Structure 1
Amino acid sequence: MLNIVLGAVSLGLLWAIMTLGVFLTYRILDYADLTVEGSITMGAAIAARLIYDGVDPVLATAAAIAGGMAAGWVTGVLHTKLKIPGLLSGILSMIALYSINIRIMGKANITLLKSDTVFTGISALGITGQWAVMLVGAGLTAAVILFLYWFFGTELGCAIRATGDNEKMARAQGINTDTMKLLGLMLSNGLVAFSGALIAQNQRYADITMGQGAIVIGLASVIIGEVLFDRGGFLRRFFSMALGAVIYRIIIAFVIELGMQPTDLRLFTAITVAAALSIPNIQGKAITLFRPRRVSAGCAVQSK
């Protein structure tokens, strides 16, 4: 049981960085970005290929982040410059990235069983296995959260937030909303690719199909974090996203342990997201249903 929880928590911390990226577009920028399913694989593909070729894992991870940011930039250009709708822009980038990722890897998958990763460097401290992944994942996730908290407190970060809140009002205030969307998409997909690079190094391989369903996983983690933990300021919202990713992985681990087939996980995830999204509506209807009805004195029927 302890191994199941440790494995779920360590993996959840790596997916938490992807969840933060999804949160940036879905909540802050108010943009439905499907580039995620391609950029997470791109991060894994770039990192795995460079590590396989002997590049330092840290440099390979940095290159993966740059690749993800480039993918976000392409989506942003399609939307802001070519005026393609946001949803379709993400779909086009996602489709293109499938072929690009195969080109990067040279084949459908790459194994890293005999290569060093960012997690093996901590073995000098005597920390190995899931504990090493958990420690590195927690440290990197906390660093990303603190960076985002600082960034969105700057003038540039506030401009991105304003663009997501009310684009017309932001434009009236002199903000170049197209540039803000570009920056937001680049930052989001950079984080998603960062997560993909870490996940590939943890599981010791990168596969062309590893990004399928990533957007649903990210949304499920976002919704779980908001429902269970999102009760506070901006910093707490970021931490709630990370906790949502961890809780989601724990739920999945226990569901598999109870006997659910791995092929049914996407169905389970879709049902979880649908249920979480419907909670506010169900609560509102329940409050209306059970609220005591007041009858106006002027409408009361006088009995004879």
Structure 2
Amino acid sequence: MIPATLAQSLILSFVVMAVMLPFRILSFPDLTSEGSYPLGGCVCAMTLVAGAPPLVALLAAAAAGFLAGCLTAFIHLRFRIHTLLAGILITTMLYSINLRIMGKANTPLFQETKIFGWLADVGLTDSWVKIVLVGAMILLLALALNLWFLTEHGTAMRAVGANAEMAEAQGINVWGVTIGGVGLAGACAAFGGGLMAQSQSFADVNMGLGVLINALAALMIGEGLIGRKTIQRQIAAVVVGAVVYYQLISVCLAVGLPPGDLKIATGVFVLIMLAAPSLGLKRAGAQPKECFKE
């Protein structure tokens, strides 16, 4: 089960990255990923059906997700609508848009050429082909983001997330940075949706159901294990959390846990990760107090 879940977790890493960027970097809690993910799958599927190369289909999916993210940020900034509500509105509308794009609820891709076919002749199994290819993609994204946040524009984005008013006083275009950052998050989620559509050889308008919860759980687990004191740790927590989350799920299935109870297991994992630092601080704070009394 490890190779199969590892491949799936690496694809989920793109969605976890899409959740992390607005939430941690821009202080912009966003739910658009649950709509951008199936949007990317639907756009990728129809682009493949039209005869486009697999990489072009993925880029088209990312472009569609970028527009969805930009629209969410624009609605929030222009109409002063809360970020969560703006994301819910866009996600709701994207369901109908996805139906319009495909013309039906799902589209099979068994006959179309997928990006994983590039490594089909090197002697690797299907799961390991996906692991190598998607792993290389998420590694490139992580390195690119790490370099980006070290630049002036990347620092400006972090400044907007830290204090938007102070950033604006320093001459930073808050609107442009916010719209671009949330759009980048939407592109990551849609790219992951396109990869999943090519991986499972079909796209469905409901493929994003629950993916946001899984991504949030993976992010919390990764941050609990790696931390987020530096930008490098924050980015690494995305991949580590996604991998650990799906391996925990595979372990639960391997020991016989009913699939219907996986959400309970997910909640327990996240609760442990969230509660551990607090409990540790309490214990650390209690010891000096006892020594002081003595």
Relative distance call for 1:268 and 1:103 in structure 2 (3 A) is farther
After TM superposition, give the deviation of residue 291 of structure 1 in Å: 4.0
Relative distance call for 1:233 and 1:296 in structure 2 (3 A) is closer
Match of 1:300 in 2: none
Q: Structure 1 stretches (4+) deviating beyond 6 angstroms? A: none
Q: Aligned pair 1:178/2:156, yes or no?
A: no
Q: Aligned pair 1:43/2:67, yes or no?
A: no
Q: After superposition, what is the alpha-carbon deviation per residue over 1:218-253, rounded to whole angstroms, capped at 9, x for unaligned?
A: 111111111112377423431231111111111111
Q: Aligned pair 1:288/2:285, yes or no?
A: yes
Q: Aligned pair 1:25/2:22, yes or no?
A: yes
Match of 1:120 in 2: 117
Match of 1:250 in 2: 247
* Structure 2 residue identity aligned to 1:148: L
The TM-score, its normalising length taken from structure 1, stands at 0.91
In 1, the alpha carbon distance for the partners of 2:252 and 2:99 equals 32
Q: Secondary structure at the match of 1:206?
A: strand
After TM superposition, give the deviation of residue 91 of structure 1 in Å: 0.8
Relative distance call for 1:36 and 1:231 in structure 2 (3 A) is closer
Q: Secondary structure at the match of 2:93?
A: helix
After TM superposition, give the deviation of residue 80 of structure 1 in Å: 0.7
Kept in 1, the 8 Å contact 2:224–2:274? The answer is no
Q: 1:208 aligns with which of 202, 205, 209?
A: 205
Kept in 2, the 8 Å contact 1:79–1:89? The answer is yes
Q: Aligned pair 1:261/2:258, yes or no?
A: yes
Single out whichever of 152-161 and 188-197 deviates more from structure 2: 152-161
Relative distance call for 1:232 and 1:88 in structure 2 (3 A) is closer
After TM superposition, give the deviation of residue 197 of structure 1 in Å: 0.7
Relative distance call for 1:104 and 1:267 in structure 2 (3 A) is farther
After TM superposition, give the deviation of residue 277 of structure 1 in Å: 2.0
Q: Secondary structure at the match of 2:22?
A: helix
% same residue? 35
The TM-score, its normalising length taken from structure 2, stands at 0.94
* Structure 2 residue identity aligned to 1:258: V
Q: 1:151 aligns with which of 148, 153, 157?
A: 148
Where structure 2 has 5 or more consecutive residues not aligned to the other structure, the ranges are: none
Match of 1:83 in 2: 80
After TM superposition, give the deviation of residue 200 of structure 1 in Å: 1.3
Determine which structure has more spread, i.e. the larger CA radius of gyration: 1
In 2, the alpha carbon distance for the partners of 1:264 and 1:159 equals 43
Cα RMSD, aligned residues only: 1.8
Aligned pair count reads 294
Give runs of aligned pairs for residues 210-225 of structure 1, distance below 5 A: 210-225=207-222
After TM superposition, give the deviation of residue 154 of structure 1 in Å: 1.8
After TM superposition, give the deviation of residue 295 of structure 1 in Å: 5.5
Kept in 2, the 8 Å contact 1:122–1:128? The answer is no
Q: 1:229 aligns with which of 223, 226, 229?
A: 226
Match of 2:137 in 1: 140
Where structure 1 has 5 or more consecutive residues not aligned to the other structure, the ranges are: 298-304
Kept in 1, the 8 Å contact 2:7–2:127? The answer is yes
